[in-house]
Structure 1
Amino acid sequence: MWIYNPKHDIEFEKGELFTNVDAFRAVLKDYVIQKGFPLLRLKNERSRVTAICNAKGCQWRIHASPMADNITFQIKSYQPQHTCVMDKHCAEATCDWMAKKLVGVMRDHPIMTSKGVEAKLRKYGVKPSKMQIFRAKNKALNEIEGTHAESYSKLPSYAELLRNNNPNSIYKIHYDRPNLLIEPKFLRIFISFKAQKPGFLEGCRPFVGFDGCFLNGPFGGVPLTAVALDANNSICCN
């Protein structure tokens, strides 16, 4: 069975095994990017994968298909020799591929700089442009943290959790939905936990203000927080 070793370049051998067709496709893509040559997939099916080097006159070729269990993939024939000139600017190195390589490291370092991303990708023999770095970083962060749209869609579930775990709290979600044929569009949410009301009435002066900040995400908006003065004339937020 083929095992990934980050300390060595990928090399294929006839007879090597892969857990499934997707695993073989992923390793093949990494290999092509590592070596830097144009790939032409003659067959790219669940039952067989056949690819050649698309450079004129080059004899490189690989063919793999499943074994008797119809799951495990095996390299059945392989011609490893290249007669073409390698080019590190490989078209296979897409932003989606770069993002997959960044997910692991950005999960531990979410504020990784563009230079750090570039250095990480250069280990795979890729020379990304500034726009590719920007897009790959965003895709990796979306994979790790989720998108803003996904977060807004979870607000009803959050309100349900409040209802079950913090009874007598106030939570209202307002949507814009002109008719039932249109998907509801989130407008605003109001939350007041149960402990806040008696806390304000019993421990704060009769003064209420609001504090807010602008959201820098793709949807914008301003979250507002109620501000009051406690018995020591200190500001407390509700």
Structure 2
Amino acid sequence: MVGGITAKCFRTMNLPVINSGEESDDLDYEQSFSSDAYSSTSDDGDEEVDTTWANVELQESHVEPVDSEPERIEVGAVYSSYDVLKEAVAKENIRQFCQFRTDDKRSRSWKAVCIDLSLCTWHIQAGEGMTSKKWKVKKYQPHHSCREDPKMARDDKILTAKIIASEIAPKVKVNPDYNIKLIMSDMYETFNIRVSYKKAWNGRLIALECKFGNWEASYNELPMLLEAIQFSNPGPVVHLQSQQTGTPHTSEFR
């Protein structure tokens, strides 16, 4: 009860991801899947193998493009982190309908080659600076001598939800209700690949969570927020309706 008004808090899984005036098909789509389908730890069934280009970890530190990041990959280009560099390489390969894999990865160096090493000379080698901790491209052969695979344009698995999230992050920051169908259209315009509705939805969800946090974290902050309200505005009475879960020291709102 806050200021005499009773307010019930619901479990996070029952809340809509977007509170907006977006087209009704987004809401219908949301209700047709369980909450697990939209978890940022799942990428629509895409398996991310550590030795392939697909394993691009999306971190808050590089969700939004940094002005200092290079516009194109070339020898001497410097990136703020390994993840940012690998993501840029992944996007460039997607545009060429080609794939790559990690050939050697150490704490301060990385080498990647074309997935078809016997037929292609494409490769990149980069290392981390001793003091700056930034990653610099040392060797780079940008052109694939293997044949591009046009079938990849019809297989949206090569364009993961994490990469979509990184690509749309600036627009999500301005407009959290970025329309799903518009995301699909923008991905086709950028990469010439038709992604599924579900993949675009998951991409937007990841971008939203990276920018604004997730529902679970927001609920964890709610008790502190209510306590602050009581402290700054003496008088309101707050009563949190919760129940114990199977996890020790963990409760959930009712």
Short-chain TM bin: 0.5 to 0.7
CA distance in 2, matches of 1:105, 1:57: 39
Give the drift of 1:48: 0.8
Tell me whether 1:49 sits opposite 2:49 in the alignment: no
Q: Deviations over 1:40-95 (max 9, x none)?
A: 11123331110011124111111111345362322222223322122344755211
> Is residue 123–residue 141 contact of structure 2 (8 Å, CA) maintained in 1?
yes
Paired position in structure 1 for 2:84: 23
* The 10-residue stretch of structure 1 (147-156 or 50-59) with the greater mean CA deviation from structure 2: 147-156
Distance verdict in 2 for CA 1:123–1:168, change over 3 Å:
same
Paired position in structure 2 for 1:101: 167
> Is residue 62–residue 77 contact of structure 1 (8 Å, CA) maintained in 2?
yes
Distance verdict in 2 for CA 1:67–1:183, change over 3 Å:
closer
Distance verdict in 2 for CA 1:92–1:70, change over 3 Å:
farther
Paired position in structure 2 for 1:120: 186
Distance verdict in 2 for CA 1:91–1:54, change over 3 Å:
farther
* Structure number with higher helix proportion: 2
Correspondent of 1:80 among 121, 142, 149: 142
Correspondent of 1:38 among 99, 103, 108: 99
Q: TM-score, normalised by structure 2?
A: 0.62
Paired position in structure 2 for 1:62: 124
Distance verdict in 2 for CA 1:41–1:90, change over 3 Å:
farther
> Is residue 70–residue 79 contact of structure 2 (8 Å, CA) maintained in 1?
no
Aligned residue type for 1:79:
Q
Q: Deviations over 1:88-136 (max 9, x none)?
A: 4475521111112222102222222222111222243132112211221
CA distance in 2, matches of 1:178, 1:115: 38
> Is residue 70–residue 78 contact of structure 2 (8 Å, CA) maintained in 1?
no
Give the length in aligned residue pairs: 182
Correspondent of 1:147 among 210, 214, 219: 214
> Is residue 29–residue 92 contact of structure 1 (8 Å, CA) maintained in 2?
no
Paired position in structure 2 for 1:229: none
User: 3-state SS of the aligned residue for 2:241?
Assistant: strand
**Structure 2 unpaired stretches of 5+:** 1-67
Q: Which of the pair has more CA radius of gyration?
A: 1
> Is residue 37–residue 90 contact of structure 1 (8 Å, CA) maintained in 2?
no
* The 10-residue stretch of structure 1 (129-138 or 160-169) with the greater mean CA deviation from structure 2: 129-138
Q: Deviations over 1:146-166 (max 9, x none)?
A: 333222222211221121111
CA distance in 1, matches of 2:112, 2:245: 53
CA distance in 1, matches of 2:143, 2:87: 21
Paired position in structure 2 for 1:211: none
CA distance in 2, matches of 1:104, 1:177: 39
Paired position in structure 1 for 2:74: 13
Give the drift of 1:3: 4.3
CA distance in 1, matches of 2:162, 2:178: 18
> Is residue 75–residue 137 contact of structure 2 (8 Å, CA) maintained in 1?
yes
Paired position in structure 2 for 1:164: 231
TM alignment of 1:198-237, pairs within 5 A? none
Q: Deviations over 1:1-41 (max 9, x none)?
A: x7444xxxx4x332333334333223222222222211111
User: 3-state SS of the aligned residue for 2:95?
Assistant: helix
Q: TM-score, normalised by structure 1?
A: 0.66
CA distance in 1, matches of 2:113, 2:179: 37
Paired position in structure 2 for 1:212: none
* Structure number with higher strand proportion: 1
Percentage identity across paired residues of the two chains: 18
